Amino acid sequence: MTQTPGPTAARRGRPRSAAVDRAVIDTVLRLLTEGTSFADLSMENVARQAGVGKATVYRRWPGKDALLLDVLAAVEAPPAEPAGHSLREDLIASIEAIRHRTLAKQENALLRNMLLHLHSSPELWQRYYETAIVPRRRTLARLLERGVAEGELRPEIAEDLELAMDMVAGPVLYRATIRPDLLQDDTLAERIVDWFLQGARPQDGKTPGPRYA
Amino acid sequence: MTQTPGPTAARRGRPRSAAVDRAVIDTVLRLLTEGTSFADLSMENVARQAGVGKATVYRRWPGKDALLLDVLAAVEAPPAEPAGHSLREDLIASIEAIRHRTLAKQENALLRNMLLHLHSSPELWQRYYETAIVPRRRTLARLLERGVAEGELRPEIAEDLELAMDMVAGPVLYRATIRPDLLQDDTLAERIVDWFLQGARPQDGKTPGPRYA
DNA sequence: ACGATACGAGACGGCACCGTATCGTTAATC
DNA sequence: GATTAACGATACGGTGCCGTCTCGTATCGT
């Protein structure tokens, strides 16, 4: 997998079984979903649970980090791309997608483990970030840019798109990580987006603006 | 510590050294700050680093979890309570406090470790949540309630105070956990609060409201 | 058929940590 | 000064994982 010996050259002998790769990766995902942390994952136990020889695992991956790298690559990128109706509806769909994704045990387990290793394993984090976060974020960015272009959002929003994205996605992601119990609310995405838009639309006439007491 | 044998009864023999408690807890905090995760912390190494006998540690705490419980209790509750000037300024100070706290390595390490064990160690999470999160949250809640009472914020905000708090604190906490690189901006708290207030103030006249395309 | 390679199973030595016990020493109370 | 308990140090047996290696078997190219 990570180190296929011959490229596409006529390889001799018995070929590697693709079923083994799947079995190992599926087992890791299952264990993570069941609450095992990265640290508690052992090559030994993974091999045992997958019904696979330990040497077979080491033949494919030199160690746990390399295996985890492939596990992250295996969680498929989301199709997403709401790109449909009104800005409001698309934003709601986008936030709702985040909410649902982080409610799923597997995604949640991956996220929490990756957050712990954000600093200690930059390579792992990089892979996770680009697989799981960047696509969603790009979708959201395009939505906001379109909103600005069509005059539905204040022009200043385009100047710091990162902040705008965090203003609308931050609340749900905060709950996803710190208060998962408050994530059940089905109307959450809608209420967040409406609130966000209230401060994001062009001001008609008298702008309230920062008022000092 | 967790299990002082005699209450205040005239204890015989050599008394336990308070310096040992501090040395052990300080060592744990140091190791965590240096990047060691909860899982990688071993009683053996903690004792060694603290210059303390292993049995001495076990005399105070039955295991790692009990020790960590006391470590969490040792991070002092913040005085905070801005309670000063305008609503806007108090909100900014409150958000800015969150930003600074999560920029500190020790707080950051604790937060990340706790997030991973949110589900697996509810007792630990409980302690951390009440020590580190609840006080800040209560301050923020009082601020918003006061804002509503004085007519600076829309009355509906009082109906779901949790959501309001997450709307204003979510963005910075999102960055604290997932995008620490975007947390350096000194004007961040101010911009978030102003944006938040723009959607949180009472609407004068024509309310934009949800607009469908 | 035959050589090459992957397979599951598991033995191997080594290592870090677990939690307990045993030293001689130290600092309290009686 | 005798008793009592905590101290640092260190040894103890036990456990789980590491990464390598060797079996006998299965599956491919030639």
What is the residue-wise DSSP string for A88-139? HHHHHHHHHHHHHHHHSHHHHHHHHHHHHTTTT-HHHHHHHIIIIIHHHHHH
Please report, for the domain that includes residue B142, its CATH number.
Answer: 1.10.357.10
Residues B140 and B64 in one domain: no
The Cα A4–Cα B139 span in angstroms is: 57
In a domain, A209, yes or no: no
Please report, for the domain that includes residue B42, its CATH number.
Answer: 1.10.10.60
In a domain, A140, yes or no: yes
Residues A151 and A122 in one domain: yes
What is the residue-wise DSSP string for A18-84? HHHHHHHHHHHHHHHHTT--TTT--HHHHHHHHT--HHHHHHH-SSHHHHHHHHHHHSPPP------
Tokens 């956990």 appear where? B177
The Cα A109–Cα A113 span in angstroms is: 6
Residues A99 and A161 in one domain: yes
pLDDT at A201: 79
| Whether the predicted pLDDT of A204 surpasses 70 | no
What value does the CA radius of gyration of chain B take, rounded to a whole number of Å?
22
Residue-wise pLDDT tens digits, B119-135: 999 999 999 999 999 99
In a domain, B185, yes or no: yes
Residues B66 and B109 in one domain: no
- What's the whole-number average pLDDT of chain B? 89
In this structure, what token pair is assigned to residue B102? 């999560």
Q: How sure is the predictor about A206, in pLDDT bands with cuts at 50, 70 and 90?
A: very low
Contact B117, B166 (CB under 8 A): no
pLDDT at A164: 97
The Cα B37–Cα B92 span in angstroms is: 32
Residues A94 and A178 in one domain: yes
Could you check: is the Cβ of residue B41 within 7 Å of any atom of nucleic acid strand D?
A: no
Find the mean pLDDT for residues B94-110. 96
Q: How sure is the predictor about B205, in pLDDT bands with cuts at 50, 70 and 90?
A: very low
In this structure, what token pair is assigned to residue B154? 């829309």
Contact A143, A160 (CB under 8 A): no
**Cβ B88–A119 below 8 Å, yes or no?**
no
| B171 → closest Cβ in A88, A170, A178 | A170
Give the distance, in angstroms, between residue A2 CA and nucleotide C12 C1'.
27
Which residue type sits at B98?
Answer: I
The Cα B163–Cα B159 span in angstroms is: 9
Residues A187 and A91 in one domain: yes
Residues A175 and A143 in one domain: yes
Residue-wise pLDDT tens digits, A2-29: 544 544 455 788 999 999 999 999 999 9
The Cα A49–Cα A182 span in angstroms is: 34
Nucleotides of C under 7 A from a protein CB: 3-11, 16-22, 26-30
Distances (CA, A) of A62 to A7, A37, A68, A110, A122: 19, 20, 11, 21, 18
**In total, how many domains does chain A have?**
2
The Cα A118–Cα A125 span in angstroms is: 5
In a domain, A103, yes or no: yes
In a domain, A79, yes or no: no
| Whether the predicted pLDDT of A205 surpasses 70 | no
Give the distance, in angstroms, between residue A37 CA and nucleotide D8 C1'.
35
Interface size, chain A vs chain B, as Cβ–Cβ contacts under 8 Å: 147
Residue-wise pLDDT tens digits, B147-199: 999 999 999 999 999 999 999 999 999 999 999 999 999 999 999 999 999 88
pLDDT at B209: 38
Using the Cα atoms of residue A117, residue A118, residue A123 and residue A129 in order, give the sign of their dihedral.
positive
Contact A38, B38 (CB under 8 A): no
**Cβ A37–B116 below 8 Å, yes or no?**
yes
Distances (CA, A) of B78 to B114, B140, B197: 18, 13, 26
From A41-50, A173-182, A201-210, B189-198, the region with the lowest mean pLDDT:
A201-210
Residues B98 and B125 in one domain: yes
A211 in helix, strand or coil?
coil
Closest listed residue to residue B74, CA positions, set B115, B35, B30: B30
- Asked which of A27, A53, A74 is the last residue of a domain, the reply is A74
From A81-90, A106-115, B51-60, the region with the lowest mean pLDDT:
A81-90
In a domain, B106, yes or no: yes
Distances (CA, A) of A185 to A87, A90, A188: 22, 19, 5
| Whether the predicted pLDDT of A124 surpasses 50 | yes
- What's the whole-number average pLDDT of chain A? 89
In a domain, B206, yes or no: no
Residues A139 and A194 in one domain: yes
Contact A145, A89 (CB under 8 A): no
| Whether the predicted pLDDT of B1 surpasses 70 | no
The Cα B72–Cα B125 span in angstroms is: 10
- Asked which of A10, A41, A74 is the last residue of a domain, the reply is A74
| Whether the predicted pLDDT of B80 surpasses 60 | yes
Residues A186 and A91 in one domain: yes
Residues B93 and B70 in one domain: no
Q: How sure is the predictor about A199, in pLDDT bands with cuts at 50, 70 and 90?
A: confident
Residues belonging to chain B: 213
Residues B91 and B65 in one domain: no
**Cβ A116–B113 below 8 Å, yes or no?**
yes
Question: Which chain B residues are closer than 8 Å to A200 by Cβ?
Answer: 195, 199
In a domain, B127, yes or no: yes
What percent of chain A has a predicted confidence (pLDDT) above 70? Answer: 87
Q: How sure is the predictor about A153, in pLDDT bands with cuts at 50, 70 and 90?
A: very high
Give the distance, in angstroms, between residue B13 CA and nucleotide D3 C1'.
8
Return the axis-axis angle of helices A105-116 and A18-33, rounded to nearest 10°: 80
pLDDT at A213: 36
Contact A61, A2 (CB under 8 A): yes
The neighbour count for residue A171, using CB atoms within 10 Å, is: 29
**Cβ A194–B182 below 8 Å, yes or no?**
no
Q: How sure is the predictor about A211, in pLDDT bands with cuts at 50, 70 and 90?
A: very low
Find the mean pLDDT for residues B1-12. 55
| Whether the predicted pLDDT of B204 surpasses 80 | no
What is the residue-wise DSSP string for B115-135? HHTTTT-HHHHHHHIIIIIHH
Domain of residue A132: give its range: 87-200
Buried b (16+ CB within 10 A) or exposed e, A77-86: eeebebeeee
